[in-house]
Structure 1
Amino acid sequence: MSELHYRIVEHDGGWAYKVGDVFSETFADHDTAFAAAKDAAERQRLAGETRGISYETADGKWHEEVADGGDRPETEVDDVAPKG
């Protein structure tokens, strides 16, 4: 099972959460960003429906497979204390 870390970081004059290289929207304060990260992390763990999917790869080949709706990642919110 994969694991996702939501990191609370200072960003663009405020606070955001970051997953990998992707930032959330910017929040005015640390506590609001932390609450949004907790909410996003909880929703990421929710199971969905198992469905058939099809997709095209960069080389132009189409693939079909079944996506298991119960195969959800473990999530964690990594917090940093605000400076000051």
Structure 2
Amino acid sequence: MTDITYSIVEHDGGWAYKLGDVFSETFASHEAALNGAKRAAAEQQVAGETTGISYEDEKGRWRDELSPGDDRPTTHVVDKT
């Protein structure tokens, strides 16, 4: 199972949550960014429907896979401020 962690960080004159190298939108307050991260983490837990996906791999080949809707990651929110 995949494990993902959102971090609360200062960003672009305000606050944001970050996953890997990707920032969320900028929030005016630390509390708003923390709430946004908690909401995003909770949404990751919601099961969806099993569906087919198509994507292009790093070698330019198209791949088709079946994505199970119940394969959800474990999520965390880290606030080191």
Q: What TM-score, normalized to structure 1?
A: 0.88
The match for 1:71 is: 71
The match for 2:37 is: 37
Distance in 1 (CA, whole Å) between partners of 2:39 and 2:33 is 10
Task: For 1:71, give the aligned amino acid.
Answer: D
Larger radius of gyration between Structure 1 and Structure 2: 1
Matched residue of 2:34: which SS? helix
Deviation string for 1:4-51 (max 9, x for gaps)? Answer: 100000111111000000000111110010001000100011111101
Task: For 2:52, give the aligned amino acid.
Answer: G
Distance in 1 (CA, whole Å) between partners of 2:56 and 2:15 is 36
The number of residues matched between the two structures is: 81
User: Which deviates the most, 7-16 or 57-66?
Assistant: 57-66
Task: For 1:62, give the aligned amino acid.
Answer: W
Q: What TM-score, normalized to structure 2?
A: 0.91
Task: For 1:24, give the aligned amino acid.
Answer: S
**1:70 CA drift (Å):** 0.6
What do you get for the CA RMSD once the two structures are aligned?
1.2
Distance in 2 (CA, whole Å) between partners of 1:51 and 1:20 is 26
Q: Percent identity?
A: 59
Regions of 4+ moved over 6 Å: none
Matched residue of 2:28: which SS? coil
